[in-house]
């Protein structure tokens, strides 16, 4: 009976994913997500989706992906799918963390991002108050993460100045997940999948005050 129920949920999920007019809340319910944030910043042109799958065990962690999506629906599904995978990997590793993901809709993933776009993304992450902690992923560069971290402390893997969670207990573990193939046929590099940060729960006490 449990098996049939599981198969039923899987079938429901596949149906919703393949239905482009499925409501976001339907997808969230089917996959167990807590929160999905749509980000739009007119001055910079930023369009992004941040998915928080679970914060039951701790803050949600996941990379920021800059990618060209056929539609906004595809971007939402990618964020939901990858954030769920992060929760499962963190739980399997026994970490006090949940899964999150941010995807930024761009025309060319390889084109340099403007500071305005990156700072707007940083402010959107900061507004979540630590529920989502960002890491570098497909399409993102170390410079991108540095600029984002200038607006929020909720960024991992930042070296030197510029903000971010830089405690010595932070380490990124590369997992087996790979991004979908680029349009030109090359495989993208593996994304950072799991961040072990024993002291990340102390970060709220160190959160910077940002001028509003």
Phi, psi of 129 (to 5 degrees): 65, 25
**CATH domain 23-206 topology:** Rossmann fold (3.40.50)
**Is pLDDT of 210 > 60?**
no
* Residue 133: strand pairing partners: 61
For residue 4, is pLDDT > 60? no
Residue 13 is predicted with a pLDDT of 56
Q: pLDDT by residue (tens digit) across 115-153?
A: 999 999 999 999 999 999 999 998 999 999 999 999 999
Q: Which residue has the higher pLDDT, 4 or 92?
A: 92
pLDDT in tens, 166-186: 433 333 333 333 333 333 333
**Residues 209, 75: Cα–Cα separation, whole Å:** 31
Which has more pLDDT, 104 or 195?
104
* pTM given for the model: 0.71
Query: Which has the minimum average pLDDT: 9-18, 38-47, 183-192?
Result: 183-192
Mean pLDDT, range 190-208, rounded to an integer: 37
Q: Do 72 and 28 form a contact (C-beta atoms < 8 A)? A: no
CB 132 within 8 A of CB 122: no
Candidate list 65, 101, 119, 131, residue with the active-site label? 101
Which of helix, strand or coil describes residue 102? strand
Q: Measuring CA to CA, which residue among 23, 27, 51, 24 is closest to residue 37?
A: 51
Say what the pLDDT of residue 187 is: 36
Contacts 24+ apart (CB under 8 A), 165-170: 165/133, 165/197, 165/200, 165/203, 167/197, 167/199, 167/200, 169/196, 169/197, 169/198, 169/199, 169/200, 170/195, 170/196, 170/197, 170/199, 170/200
Q: Is 101 a catalytic residue?
A: yes
* Reported confidence tier of residue 26, pLDDT bands at 50, 70, 90: confident
- Mean of the per-residue pLDDT values for the chain? 75
CA separation, residue 207 to residues 62, 166, 187, 189 (Å): 19, 12, 37, 31
Burial readout 143-152 (b: 16 or more C-beta within 10 A, e: otherwise)? ebbbbbbbbb
For residue 200, what pLDDT is reported?
40
β-strand partners of 192: 174
Query: Residue 72 pLDDT > 50, yes or no?
Result: yes
CA torsion sign for 24, 28, 34, 36 is negative
pLDDT above 90: residue 107: yes
Nearest to 200 by CA among 161, 163, 170, 173: 170
- CB distance 155 to 163 below 8 Å: yes
Query: How far is Cα 190 from Cα 66, in angstroms, rounded to an integer?
Result: 14
Summarize the confidence of residues 7-19 as an average pLDDT.
Answer: 59
Q: Are 193 and 177 in contact (CB under 8 A)?
A: yes
pLDDT at residue number 25: 77
């Amino acid at each position: 009976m449990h098996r049939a129920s599981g198969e039923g949920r899987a079938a429901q999920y596949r149906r919703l994913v393949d239905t482009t007019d499925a409501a976001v809340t339907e997808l969230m319910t089917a996959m167990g997500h807590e929160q999905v944030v749509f980000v739009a910043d007119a001055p910079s042109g930023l369009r992004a989706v941040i998915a928080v799958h679970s914060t039951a065990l701790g803050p949600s962690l996941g990379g920021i992906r800059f990618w060209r999506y056929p539609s906004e629906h595809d971007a939402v599904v990618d964020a939901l799918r990858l954030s769920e995978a992060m929760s499962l990997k963190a739980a399997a590793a026994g970490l006090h963390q949940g899964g999150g993901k941010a995807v930024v809709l761009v025309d060319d993933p390889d084109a340099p991002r403007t500071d305005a776009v990156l700072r707007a993304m940083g402010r959107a992450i900061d507004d979540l108050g630590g529920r989502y902690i960002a890491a570098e992923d497909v399409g993102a560069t170390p410079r991108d993460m540095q600029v984002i971290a200038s607006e929020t402390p909720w960024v991992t893997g930042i070296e030197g100045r510029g903000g971010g969670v830089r405690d010595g207990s932070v380490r990124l573990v590369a997992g087996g997940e790979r991004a979908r193939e680029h349009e030109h046929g090359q495989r993208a590099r593996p994304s950072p999948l799991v961040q072990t940060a024993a002291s990340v729960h102390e970060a709220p006490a160190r959160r910077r005050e940002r001028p509003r």
